Amino acid sequence: MTASPDDRSRDRAVDASAVDDPAPHPHATEAEVEAALKDTKLAQVLYHDWEAETYDEKWSISYDERCIDYARGRFDAVAGDQPLPYERALELGCGTGFFLLNLMQGGVAKTGSVTDLSPGMVKVALRNAENLGLPVDGRVADAETIPYEDDTFDLVVGHAVLHHIPDVEQSLREVLRVLKPGGRFVFAGEPTTVGNFYARWLGRLTWEATTRITRLPALADWRRPQAELDESSRAAALEAVVDLHTFDPTDLEKIAESAGAVEVHAETEEFAAALLGWPVRTFEAAVPEGKLGWGWARFAFGAWKNLSWVDENVLKHVVPRGLFYNVMITGVKPGK
């Protein structure tokens, strides 16, 4: 009897859990947070394990047309002229699987491996893949020492992960090692240096304003329980330890070339869209879970899309690329 796609993905998920990966640790103590302030990789695990089960909700991540289009759009912006699908893809810092699972649904790759330093994230990504019936396996993995053989993958992707990795060039060397000759990497969603500056300030102001205003008795329904706000503040302290880099697009190209990649090319996007997006996302995180609903998510995404259109069709021609919020980069392993 032939296994259905559902059976195959379930088998792979079972195989992956057989690997001796550490278990998720979602409730860090104050002592652990204290230790993590001096240990960026421990901070990554505590912070992202803490976030894993609520991450999709916090960032309005879905696995439908909205996010498939988004993931595909980021991929196409730097690597849109490639023949698809790739046979086997790896994702680094997969989180809940947002980028690779949506790229697979969008026809970019046939099979996938999701990896992350956070066991909690790998668990959620595998669960999401299983629910979608996608042929995906997963490992807990540090992007600086990728636990796969040389020349294994046709494509390596990542979204919002490079800025967390202490030695980005070492990680890109590892990416090139596990890619087959001629294989491609695509990393998207990295903060530019200038974009990060204005995004941080907008986020901070929105958080302060929302958590203060919702102290008013008339807005009590909109205030998250104090325990959750305290936990958020503890996690926010870790944020400073997990966010290690911002990138100038040209410098990022040089890092990729120095790691050994060819056909390297960076693109930037989101200026007006980021000026809206950061207050919106911070507001979503500052009010009780589920309070805003999918109507709000659709509105926020629609506004972001309209402003992205303005960025792409108007501002890109007049604003220097370093001022946009997001940078993405692609490159190829030489030797085919």
Ligand X SMILES: C[S@@+](CC[C@H](N)C(=O)[O-])C[C@H]1O[C@@H](n2cnc3c(N)ncnc32)[C@H](O)[C@@H]1O
The footprint of ligand X (CB under 6 A) covers 44, 48, 92-95, 98-99, 116-118, 121, 142-144, 159-161, 164-165, 189
Q: Report strand pairing: 153-159 vs 262-269.
A: unpaired
Provide, rounded to whole angstroms, the least separation between the CB of residue 135 and ligand X.
Answer: 19
∠ CA(253), CA(306), CA(289), 5° rounding?
A: 90
CB nearer to ligand X: pick between 223 and 252? 252
Q: Nearest approach, Cβ of 188 to ligand X (angstroms)? A: 8
Q: 7 Cβ partners below 8 Å, 6+ apart?
A: none
- Identity of the residue, 113 or 214, whose beta carbon is nearer to ligand X in the bound complex: 113
Q: Minimum distance between the CB of residue 221 and ligand X, rounded to whole angstroms? A: 29
* Least gap, CB of 92 to ligand X (angstroms): 6
Nearest-approach distance from CB 68 to ligand X, in angstroms: 14
Angle among Cα 163, 28, 207 to the nearest 5 degrees reads 60
Helix (H, G, I), strand (E, B) or coil at 219: helix
Residue 190, classed as helix, strand or coil, is: strand
DSSP string for 142-159: -TTS--S-TT-EEEEEEE
Which lies closer to ligand X via its Cβ, residue 124 or residue 223? 124
State which residue has the least CB distance to ligand X: 95
Query: Is the CB of residue 154 less than 8 Å from the CB of residue 86?
Result: yes
CB of 226 to ligand X, least distance (A): 26
Tally of CB atoms within 10 A around 290: 7
Judge whether 243 and 164 are in contact, CB under 8 Å: yes
Q: How far apart are CA 11 and CA 60, in angstroms?
A: 29
**Comparison of 48 and 72: residue with beta carbon closer to ligand X:** 48
Q: How many CB atoms lie within 10 A of CB 1?
A: 4
For the CB of residue 90, give the shortest distance to ligand X in the complex, in Å.
Answer: 11
Q: Which is nearer to ligand X, 79 or 121 (CB)?
A: 121
Beginning with the edge strand found earlier in the chain, give each strand of the sheet holding 262-269 in spatial order.
Answer: 136-140, 109-116, 86-92, 153-159, 179-191, 326-332, 262-269
The smaller minimum CB distance to ligand X, of residues 63 and 98, is found at 98
| Residue closer to ligand X (CB basis): 214 or 252 | 252
